[in-house]
Amino acid sequence: MEKEVIQFASQVGFALLSLALLIALYRAFKGPRATDRVVALDLLAGICLALFTLLAVSADKSVYLNVAVCISLLAFMSTAAFARYLATRHMQNKN
């Protein structure tokens, strides 16, 4: 019984996260400003993190959690780097 509940919840989770992934991809490509695209890409990383965590639970394999940790580290570093780039560009435009 417990395995069926986990399997059903995983399937629902995968479906909802896939829908969220499509919406975030749309915003990443259609975003009117660079900051909108960065937020959408950060959201995509979070959704991928959730997908790999859900995969680890549904497949009962902890190796997917390592992938999720790597994705979260890369997402943080890329968002911080892009924020620094935008701040530098903003300061140059003021001068």
- The helix (H) or strand (E) run that includes residue 43 is helix 34-59
CA–CA separation, 28 and 42 (whole Å): 10
Question: Does position 28 have pLDDT exceeding 80, yes or no?
Answer: yes
Instruction: Note the pLDDT of residue 15.
Output: 97
**What ranges make up the beta strands (E) of the chain?**
none
pLDDT range class, residue 56, cuts 50, 70, 90? very high
CA–CA separation, 42 and 20 (whole Å): 13
Q: How many domains does the chain have?
A: 1
Instruction: Note the pLDDT of residue 22.
Output: 96
pTM for this structure? Answer: 0.83
Please check whether residue 24 is in contact with residue 40, taking contact to mean a CB–CB distance below 8 angstroms: yes
Q: Which domain holds residue 71?
A: 2-94
Three-state secondary structure call for residue 60: coil
> For 46-57, what is the mean pLDDT?
94
Q: Could you tell me the CA-to-CA distances from 81 to 11, 44, 76 in Å, in that order?
A: 35, 17, 9
What is the maximum alpha-carbon separation in the chain?
66
